[in-house]
């Protein structure tokens, strides 16, 4: 099975500045670490890097850092960070981004912004500039912000946008699952009415705090498939954000205090669950795991071989050195 992961993060806190990393995430996650987290089902595996919310001053440096290790990490497209509400500043940032060969799209992370920003005049103008340059937009929002993204899609119908993590619905945990709400399903369907809107099957393990099951999350996948159709769904791992939680059974590095930790097999397990769900519903696996992301991001037109850096020690060194 071919796998084009539509939502992969990489970072190095010693090279770039991140204000949100803490606990098991506050370590190097780069080409060495992803090599230990490959998808077991994959015969071919590539990925699209999505900006990891560095400070704004590092947005372009982040793109260049990822481009330098892209070949070794299997990255064939980059979604760069940007603010879309800066007027002339946004245009200048877009012009700099499109000079980078692997940049396929942008993301202004909206989940922590005030409601209404995505439909403000400044943001809509920035979104039109994105569309004019043939780039995509990743919409990372919480469930209550979904109506704003539908309104953005209506205001800029030429913008190809993708909803990250199904809009982050409340899913509960494996032991205390929550069902999809009527409001979330309604708002997802409203967004899906716009033909240039797509959806990533990603992030739900993270919304469950790493404590999840197939039975718990499959109803959310069903709602997304009903709304968007398989041809507008793409699988994403949200690695490493969505692989933090209770220690996996048999983990020799499990914290003695029972605190959350890195889950080495969670990325592959999420792929297994989505693949088994898709097969059970008669959905096209190659569409979900490869073709939708390839067509949306146009990675076949952008991918190229780039120099690979020397190996470094990241989370695996931390695991062995600090928990062994």
- Note the pLDDT tens digit of each residue in 198-216: 999 999 999 999 999 999 9
CA dist., res. 321 & res. 14, Å (int): 18
Average pLDDT rounded to a whole number, residues 242-247 = 98
Query: What are the Cα distances from residue 173, in Å, to 48, 101, 248?
Result: 28, 40, 15
Q: Which two tokens stand for residue 227?
A: 């709304």
Name the β-bridge partners of 177. Answer: 172
pLDDT in tens, 126-173: 999 999 999 999 999 999 999 999 999 999 999 999 999 999 999 999
Average pLDDT rounded to a whole number, residues 31-41 = 97
| CATH code for the part of the protein at 2-323 | 3.20.20.140
The reported pLDDT for the residue numbered 276 is 98
pTM of the predicted structure, to 2 decimals: 0.93
Task: Number of helices (H) and strands (E) in the chain: give both, helices first.
Answer: 13, 10
% of the chain at pLDDT higher than 90: 92
Query: What are the Cα distances from residue 101, in Å, to 8, 30, 67, 73?
Result: 18, 20, 9, 16
The reported pLDDT for the residue numbered 198 is 99
Q: What order do you get walking across the sheet with 2-8 strand by strand?
A: 2-8, 44-50, 75-81, 103-107, 136-139, 161-163, 197-201, 233-235
Cis previous bond, 304, omega within 30: no
Average pLDDT rounded to a whole number, residues 266-275 = 98
CA dist., res. 298 & res. 74, Å (int): 16
Secondary structure letter of residue 235 according to DSSP:
E
- What does the chain come to in residues? 324
CA dist., res. 214 & res. 40, Å (int): 17
Q: Strand 261-262 to strand 244-245: parallel, antiparallel, or no bridges (unpaired)?
A: antiparallel
- Give Cα 70 to chain centroid, integer Å: 16
% of the chain at pLDDT higher than 70: 93
Contacts of 172 (CB under 8 A, 6+ apart): 178, 208, 216
Query: What are the Cα distances from residue 253, in Å, to 171, 248, 318?
Result: 28, 10, 10
Candidates 324, 243, 290, 304; CA nearest to 36 is 243
């Amino acid at each position: 099975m071919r796998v084009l992961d539509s939502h992969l993060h990489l970072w190095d806190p010693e090279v770039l500045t991140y204000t949100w990393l803490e606990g098991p995430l506050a370590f190097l996650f780069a080409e060495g670490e992803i090599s230990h987290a490959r998808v077991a089902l994959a015969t071919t595996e590539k990925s699209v890097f999505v900006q990891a919310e560095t400070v704004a001053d590092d947005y372009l440096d982040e793109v260049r850092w990822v481009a330098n290790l892209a070949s070794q990490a299997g990255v064939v497209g980059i979604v760069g960070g940007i603010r879309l509400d800066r007027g002339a500043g946004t245009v200048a940032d877009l012009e700099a981004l499109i000079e980078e060969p692997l940049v396929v799209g942008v993301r202004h992370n909206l989940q922590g912004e005030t409601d209404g920003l995505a439909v403000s005049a400044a943001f809509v103008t920035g979104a039109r500039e994105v569309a004019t340059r043939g780039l995509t937009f990743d919409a990372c929002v919480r469930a209550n912000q979904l109506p704003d993204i539908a309104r953005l899609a209506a205001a800029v119908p030429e913008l190809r946008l993708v909803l990250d993590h199904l809009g982050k619905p409340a899913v509960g945990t494996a032991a205390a699952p929550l069902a999809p709400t009527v409001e979330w399903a309604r708002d997802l369907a409203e967004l899906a009415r716009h033909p240039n809107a797509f959806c990533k099957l990603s992030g739900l393990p993270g919304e469950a705090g790493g404590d999840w099951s197939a039975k718990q999350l499959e109803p959310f996948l069903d709602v997304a498939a009903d709304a968007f159709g398989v041809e507008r769904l793409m699988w994403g791992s949200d690695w490493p954000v969505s692989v933090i939680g209770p220690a996996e059974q048999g983990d020799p590095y499990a914290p003695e205090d029972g605190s959350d930790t890195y889950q080495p097999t969670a990325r592959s397990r999420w792929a297994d669950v989505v693949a088994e769900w898709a097969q059970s519903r008669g959905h096209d696996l190659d569409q979900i795991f490869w073709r939708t992301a390839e067509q949306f991001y146009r990675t076949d037109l952008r991918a190229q071989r780039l120099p690979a850096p020397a190996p470094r020690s990241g989370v695996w060194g931390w695991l062995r050195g600090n928990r062994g």
